[in-house]
Chains A and B, each alone.
Chain A
Amino acid sequence: MQTVRVNGQTHSVDVDPDTPLLWVLRDVLGLNGTKFGCGIAQCGVCTVHLDGHPVRACNLPVGMIGERSVTTIEGVDNADPIVHAVKKAWTNLDVVQCGYCQPGQVMAAIGLLKTVPNPTDEQIDSAMSGNMCRCGTYMRIRKAIHLAAGETA
């Protein structure tokens, strides 16, 4: 049995400790907002927050999480001004296309704005380059992050 704290709730899950958090979220807890894209920390669609910091769930063994708390796209606090601003910017600018990468992009963007409230293009690029978008929505992601930063500044 592994114990993991997700979105404020503690779960006991019957999996091996080497099981990546991603599969615990998706296939055991039924939290499908966090996506699978590569399994090797290359694409970022599995981005969640671990104690508030963006990490890749696909290569994080559940047995190594310990006391730290996991937040997924389902569990972000909509009352948080940054969360609210990011989601609003994303819909206002119609960033999404197929949408598959977007929960990961949103998690990465929230993580960025928490540490760098008003990022430059370069800071955005370096924080977001681990999050691929096959549909090529990068132009709008950059704009949306600036927009969200402006709202919360």
Chain B
Amino acid sequence: MTRMPLTTRRAALFGGGGLLLATLWPSASPRASTGMLVENATAPFAPNAYIRITPDNSITLILPNIEMGQGIYTSSVMLIAEELGVDLAQIEIEAAPPGSAEITGGSTSIMTEWKPLREAGAAARTVLVQAAASRWNVAPSSCTAASGVVSHTPSGRTFTFGELATEAAKLPLPKEPTLKAASDYSLIGKSQHRVDSAIKVNGTAVFGIDINVPGQKIGTVAASPVMGGTVRSLDRDAAMAVRGVVAVLVNEPRDAVCVVAEHYWAAHKGLQALRPVWSENDNAHVNTQTIYDQLHDGLKGPAIIPSPKGDADAVIAKSHSTYSAVYQQPMLAHATMEPINCTAHVRPDGCDVWVGTQVADRAQETAADVTGLPKEKITVHSQYIGGGFGRRLEHEYITQCVQFAKQTSYPLKIVWSREEDITRDRYRPAYVDEVTAGLDEKGHVTAMKHRIVGPAVVARWDPPELTKEGYDEDLSVATLITSYTYDVYRLEFARREAPGVITAWWRGVGGTRGLFVVENFIDELAVKAGIDPVAYRRELAKDNARAVAVLDRVAKDSDWSDPVPKGRARGVALQFAFGSYMATVAEIEMQTPETVIIHRVTAAVDCGQVVNPDQVVSQIEGGLIFGFSAALYNEITLENGRVQENNFNTWRVMRMNEAPRRIDVHLIASTEDPGGIGEVGTAAAAPALANAMASAQGHRYRTLPLLSSRNQEKEAAR
């Protein structure tokens, strides 16, 4: 991909004239803050977002990110509209075509787009104002742009953006468009309604699973229940005998079969009748315990040590006392509400794919690979996503769909059953961690050592991102990247790839993984030292003003210093992840060791400049509940290489009656660059809850899920 600096290159605009402005920014670093603007209709490069203004005054934004619930459409629109001078209601939105290198994940959207989207809006506004000013023969500084109209204030004359678009397109773009001062924002920082609310309430929003292409047929699939198995036999006749079934397909690697029918139910019945038999392999010997044993084994022996600070072993050995604890976390499924699906129409001259994906580029690439067609013959139509959580950063289901669709002349929609969705997910890996602290006579940390044993997800997902030493930087969150200052610190990573499964990103990634361990451990140290857990953290974070501020705020808002209501307990967690700070207090009640009532959750968040405050709150609420659900209930287990949980009767999801009675989120006012928000709530959930439960029950919860009997057994074994 060629990247152009800010340029004034021209090309014929689409028929009818108008202004098309594209913005792009380097995708290599998700934290890049400088964008580049180009203007071009038939761009040979890949822009990330477009502003399109046509003479009939229709204003369209083509957005780089995929809306999967996080409200990113609304906040992206706000950023552009703020500088462009249009009302949200005047704007139409389209999803960006593939070629836009943006990946929607890792809470990076707002961080990446904060500057480029505003610059795009400002650049377009500048040329529109200039076009008006030269028509009126007045100074551009005497004109203003608002609500899609340029006005000459002294004379009261106006032009709509549409009337100016064709002329504006001929003007050079400003090299560094002037951005509004924060004090002049009229949209940013003020809660705006989501732009996708109405269609999601009235049922007209089209998700991938809702695609209805003329002539399409519907298939449902079964992949080998043991990873790496291939199909040995199947009862094709029985499946074809089911009314409505039109085809039985086996894909090219022969690791999945598909029954195609006029409607899903017929396909489903056909698949049951098909009874495929699969070859077995070594993966069929993998059990959950195999994976945990391998992880515990990694607590000893060699490890990678990224950025050590001081000599942790020496300081710990000399310390007044030492303390150490081992934590275990399970594999997790994503179980997005919308089951995995994909629609593809493969023709000799091209291929269309309709899908909800966080990685449209990879979708295009894989379809090109499978069909042998050149990439430019593949069109990916991105759809609304019924929940991402990291699942749709994978594209193997798109590969699989195209493998089947290339065998059919008609468009083929593949819908996975929920059972297929959970048992053939790519899982958040299991991890075992051991943390050891040297302590002074008051119980304060002199040195800390933290060993992580588990896979390096990035090694498969984006191999160049694995460091030369074999380290996955995602593991730095909550360990090396933290609110706390340790004088002496050593992180160790012993890589153990899980057999029998493929591991993947999961909401909150390294933050969710790391914070459960670290915030649990810090809490334990506080309790041991007889120091209030908020005060203990405050001391450790004292060099970090933003961290201290969220901690103080949450202590105040949660009534931390007041006695806990009778029968209840509180737990706190502090975090710095995805560029945002958050402190969380959970107040719970446990009438029995198996029941947890979450009465109240209080959070204070500093995520820098907030674009759409109410949606930040919404993401925190939802992120917390998503995290509580997994923390309390969820664990993927394997028996003979086969995943045992398969639908919502065995994969428990928090329901409304189990959700917190109350969640209060306070946003700290800040002008720092925006941090991510989609994942911070999830990362906070497990540690805040585990610490509250420890306080309620008088023993630590070092294993997830929290309701796992292992937390009780370990206690009994003491």
Contacts and interface: CB of A to CB of B under 8 A. Distances in A.
Contacts of A26: 210, 263-264
A28 interface: yes
B207 A139 contact: no
Contacts of B496: none
B656 A138 contact: yes
Contact of B203 (A103, A130, A132, A141): A103
B535 interface: no
B201 to A, nearest CB: 5
B201 A134 contact: no
Nearest to A20: B265
Contacts of A32: 203, 206, 209-210, 212
B473 interface: no
Nearest to A61: B265
A129 B263 contact: no
B244 A136 contact: no
A148 to B, nearest CB: 12
Contact of B656 (A15, A72, A131): A131
A94 B197 contact: yes
* SS class, residues of chain B in contact with chain A: loop
B378 interface: no
B203 A135 contact: no
A87 B202 contact: yes
A8 interface: no
A46 B135 CA distance: 57
A138 B203 contact: no
Contacts of B199: 99
A136 B265 contact: no
Contacts of B388: 98
B337 A98 contact: yes
Given A32-B212, A96-B197, A101 B618 contact: no
A40 B649 contact: yes
Interface stretch (B150-158, B579-587, B621-629): B621-629
A15 B201 contact: no
Contacts of B203: 32-34, 72-74, 103, 106
Given A97-B71, A100-B207, A102-B201, A42 B264 contact: no
A37 B201 contact: no
Interface stretch (B484-492, B523-531, B657-665): B657-665
B481 to A, nearest CB: 25
A112 to B, nearest CB: 12
Interface string A9-24: 0000001100110011
B386 A136 contact: no
Main SS class of interface, A: loop
A43 interface: yes
B263 A137 contact: no
B424 to A, nearest CB: 16
Contact of A33 (B71, B197, B204): B204
Interface string B612-653: 001100110111111001000000000000000001110001
Given A94-B615, A102-B200, A125 B656 contact: yes
Interface in A79-120: 87, 90-92, 94-103, 106
Interface string B146-175: 000000000000000000000000000000
Contact of A96 (B194, B624, B660): B194
Contacts of B69: 96-99, 135
Contact of B209 (A35, A43, A106): A35
A31 B172 CA distance: 49
Contacts of A142: 656
Nearest to A107: B203
Contact of B648 (A16, A23, A40, A138): A40
A111 to B, nearest CB: 15
A137 B622 contact: yes
Contact of A136 (B218, B384, B621): B621
A66 interface: no
B418 A94 contact: no
B9 interface: no
Contacts of B319: none
For B389, B621, B655, which residue has the most chain A Cβ atoms within 10 angstroms?
A: B655
A70 interface: no
B205 interface: yes
Interface string B175-198: 000000000000000000110111
Contacts of B660: 139
A64 interface: no
B415 interface: yes
A99 B265 contact: no
B287 interface: no
A128 B339 contact: no
Contact of A135 (B198, B206, B418, B622): B622
B202 A38 contact: no
Interface string B252-269: 000000000011111010
Interface in B444-491: none
Given A38-B418, A102-B201, A136 B659 contact: yes
B336 interface: yes
Given A23-B264, A37-B418, A132-B648, A126 B198 contact: no
A91 B387 contact: no
A92 B108 CA distance: 27
A63 interface: no
Given A106-B201, A124-B656, A136 B264 contact: no
A34 B264 CA distance: 14
B364 interface: no
B110 interface: no
Contacts of A42: 647-649
A147 interface: no
B284 interface: no
B68 interface: yes
A138 B624 CA distance: 11
Nearest to A94: B194
B625 A99 contact: no
B338 interface: yes
A132 B653 contact: yes
A127 B699 CA distance: 36
B209 A96 contact: no
Given A23-B263, A99-B205, A103-B203, A136 B337 contact: no
B655 A129 contact: yes
B32 interface: no
Given A43-B337, A98-B68, A99-B200, A136 B263 contact: no
A53 interface: no
A90 to B, nearest CB: 5
Contacts of A19: 263, 265-266
Nearest to B612: A94
Nearest to A128: B656
A74 B647 CA distance: 27
A98 B647 contact: no
Given A42-B649, A45-B337, A100-B386, A33 B202 contact: yes
Contact of B618 (A39, A87, A94, A121): A94
Contacts of A128: 656
Contact of B339 (A15, A27, A36, A106): A36
Interface string A29-59: 0101111111110110100000000000000
23 contacts: A19-B265, A20-B265, A27-B265, A37-B337, A38-B418, A40-B418, A42-B648, A43-B653, A91-B197, A99-B207, A100-B336, A106-B203, A129-B655, A131-B656, A132-B655, A134-B335, A135-B337, A136-B623, A136-B625, A137-B618, A138-B655, A139-B662, A141-B656
Given A33-B203, A98-B386, A136-B629, 10 more contacts: A23-B264, A43-B337, A96-B197, A99-B200, A130-B655, A131-B656, A132-B655, A136-B621, A138-B656, A138-B659
The 9 closest A-B pairs by CB, nearest first: A33-B203, A136-B625, A100-B386, A99-B200, A98-B69, A27-B263, A97-B69, A73-B203, A136-B622
